[in-house]
């Protein structure tokens, strides 16, 4: 993968239009999680130090091409200024005179934030005229929002073809990590795919079994595979209509020499609630009122052995209902062991997806992984082998 980075650019005296992801959680007009604001700081710092004007462009929520006051980006301004360590200029629109006037008043090294780009219908339509208006604002374009790179919008793809385009620091790190995980990985490569539904991850599973050496399937989706193999899953969540699809994926894995790991044993309970009694069952031992809610100890032990015998791990989705004790044990133990291998320099581990990030944070090991993506949909589409328009536009 070859893409343009800010290390390739002459930045002094330039105006950089930087697409960031500031679609942050808000409560009563206050930012409740500033992770995405912090993700933009390395790019802002690099541009400011180089003497460029940094003009930040982002979306918030889904105003659908209309000006919705409750979806303004203005509430993030103070938090961003605190993180950056200096005042941030504000423009009440992302194109036209308000944006132009704000940028004109800036000095080299200054930072500005433009109003919600989705206030304009041309954004999500990738309207060429709207992209051209955005391009008028700057000398160069910087995409630092991998999380929005799977959308072919004016601010993520259209404008990148009109002025010189570069990957920001957050985007660069994400792309380099993903290349390390699936593009040109150190082998053997082990994948872990969990979560509840096979139906939402069909493309993902079909792509991964052609790319990986080993794939472990966990969470609720493993129930569908167990059912497809003739095992009784009791009252567990199971997409029984996808049994043949599951068998197809098992066959595809065999054809591509991808070793598939399905549960050897499971943790069951009659209720999915905190503190309820649990039992460890072998396959085919589940009672009709019992639900499979976590991976069993033999399953986790085998997964840890697979990790120890791998060079690269890519992880998407928990092994059980980790949010509810006592069904977090399988996911936690696997996460702790992967983190240990990373710390010892024995494993490259890349993880992504909302539930996965939450699980790794709950286990206290997100910082130990080689890379943890917060990109959600873009991370999933990349794992599915799909082309991401926002990334394609940055390629040399």
Each residue's pLDDT tens digit, 21-34: 999 999 998 999 89
Tens digit of each residue's pLDDT (9 = 90 or more) over 77-110: 999 999 999 999 999 999 999 999 999 999 999 9
Catalytic residue among 125, 136, 197, 259: 197
Where helices occur in 52-165 by DSSP H, the ranges are 77-84, 96-105, 121-124, 128-135
Task: Summarize the confidence of residues 312-336 as an average pLDDT.
Answer: 96
pTM: 0.89
Q: What are phi and psi of 315, to 5 degrees?
A: -130, 130
Q: How confident is the model at residue 1 (pLDDT cuts 50, 70, 90)?
A: low
374 has pLDDT over 90 = no
Gyration radius of the chain over CA positions: 23
Positive/negative CA dihedral, 298, 303, 292, 244: negative
Percent of the chain with pLDDT over 90: 92
The confidence score (pLDDT) of residue 6 equals 96
Task: Summarize the confidence of residues 350-356 as an average pLDDT.
Answer: 90
Task: Summarize the confidence of residues 322-336 as an average pLDDT.
Answer: 96
Task: Summarize the confidence of residues 134-142 as an average pLDDT.
Answer: 98
The confidence score (pLDDT) of residue 376 equals 82
Catalytic residue among 65, 109, 354, 376: 354
The confidence score (pLDDT) of residue 353 equals 85
Task: Summarize the confidence of residues 299-304 as an average pLDDT.
Answer: 98
**Taking a C-beta distance cutoff of 8 angstroms, is the pair 21, 34 a contact?**
no
Tens digit of each residue's pLDDT (9 = 90 or more) over 200-230: 999 999 999 999 999 999 999 999 999 999 9
293 has pLDDT over 70 = yes
Tens digit of each residue's pLDDT (9 = 90 or more) over 153-178: 999 999 999 999 999 999 999 999 98
Positive/negative CA dihedral, 194, 197, 201, 202: positive
Q: Beta-carbon neighbour count of residue 106 at 10 Å?
A: 16
Q: How confident is the model at residue 354 (pLDDT cuts 50, 70, 90)?
A: confident
**Taking a C-beta distance cutoff of 8 angstroms, is the pair 294, 319 a contact?**
yes
Q: Is 66 a catalytic residue?
A: no
Q: Which domains does the chain have, with CATH numbers?
A: 6-171 (3.40.50.1260), 185-383 (3.40.50.1260)
CA distance 243 to 254: 17
Calculate ∠ Cα 373-378-381, nearest 5°.
Answer: 115
Q: Is 354 a catalytic residue?
A: yes
The confidence score (pLDDT) of residue 108 equals 98
Q: Does residue 12 come out as left (phi exceeding 0), alpha (psi in the -120 to 50 range) or beta? A: beta
Q: What is the mean pLDDT of the chain?
A: 96
CA distance 202 to 245: 9
The confidence score (pLDDT) of residue 48 equals 98
Q: Beta-carbon neighbour count of residue 272 at 10 Å?
A: 13
Closest listed residue to residue 168, CA positions, set 368, 394, 396: 394
Catalytic residue among 65, 376, 377, 385: 377
The confidence score (pLDDT) of residue 193 equals 97
Instruction: Find where tokens 């991998």 sit.
Output: 146
Closest listed residue to residue 52, CA positions, set 93, 96, 21, 6: 6
């Amino acid at each position: 993968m070859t893409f343009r980075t800010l290390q390739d650019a002459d930045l002094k005296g330039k105006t950089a239009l930087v697409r960031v992801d500031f679609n942050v959680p808000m409560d009563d007009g206050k930012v409740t999680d500033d992770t995405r604001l912090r993700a933009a700081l390395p790019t802002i710092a690099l541009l400011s130090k180089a003497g460029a004007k940094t003009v930040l462009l982002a979306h918030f929520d889904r105003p659908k091409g209309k000006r919705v006051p409750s979806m303004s980006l203005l509430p993030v301004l103070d938090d961003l200024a605190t993180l950056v360590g200096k005042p941030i200029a504000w423009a009440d629109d992302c194109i036209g005179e308000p944006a132009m006037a704000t940028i004109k008043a800036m000095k080299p090294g200054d930072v500005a934030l433009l109003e919600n780009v989705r206030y304009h219908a041309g954004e999500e339509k990738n309207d060429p005229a709207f992209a051209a208006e955005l391009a008028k604002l700057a000398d160069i374009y910087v995409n630092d929002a991998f999380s929005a790179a799977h959308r072919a919008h004016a601010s993520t793809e259209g404008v990148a073809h009109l002025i010189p385009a570069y990957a920001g620091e957050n985007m660069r790190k994400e792309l380099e990590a993903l290349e390390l995980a699936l593009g040109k990985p150190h082998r053997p490569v082990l994948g872990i795919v969990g979560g509840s539904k096979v139906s939402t991850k069909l493309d993902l599973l079909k792509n991964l079994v052609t790319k990986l050496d080993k794939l472990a399937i966990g969470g609720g989706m493993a129930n569908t595979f167990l059912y497809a193999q003739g095992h009784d899953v009791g009252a567990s969540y199971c997409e029984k209509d996808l049994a043949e699809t599951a068998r197809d994926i098992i066959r595809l894995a065999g054809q591509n020499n991808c070793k598939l790991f399905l549960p050897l044993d499971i943790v069951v309970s009659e209720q999915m609630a905190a503190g309820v009694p649990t039992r460890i069952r072998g396959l085919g031992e589940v009672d009709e009122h019992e639900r499979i809610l976590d991976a069993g100890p033999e399953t986790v032990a085998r997964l840890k052995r697979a990790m120890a015998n791998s060079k690269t791990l890519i992880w998407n989705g928990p092994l059980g209902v980790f949010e509810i004790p006592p069904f977090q044990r399988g996911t936690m133990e696997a996460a702790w062991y992967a983190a240990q291998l990373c710390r010892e320099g024995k494993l490259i581990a890349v993880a992504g997806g909302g539930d996965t990030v939450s699980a790794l944070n709950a286990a206290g090991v997100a910082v130990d992984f080689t890379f943890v993506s917060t990109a959600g949909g873009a991370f999933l589409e990349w794992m599915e082998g799909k082309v991401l328009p926002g990334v394609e536009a940055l390629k040399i």
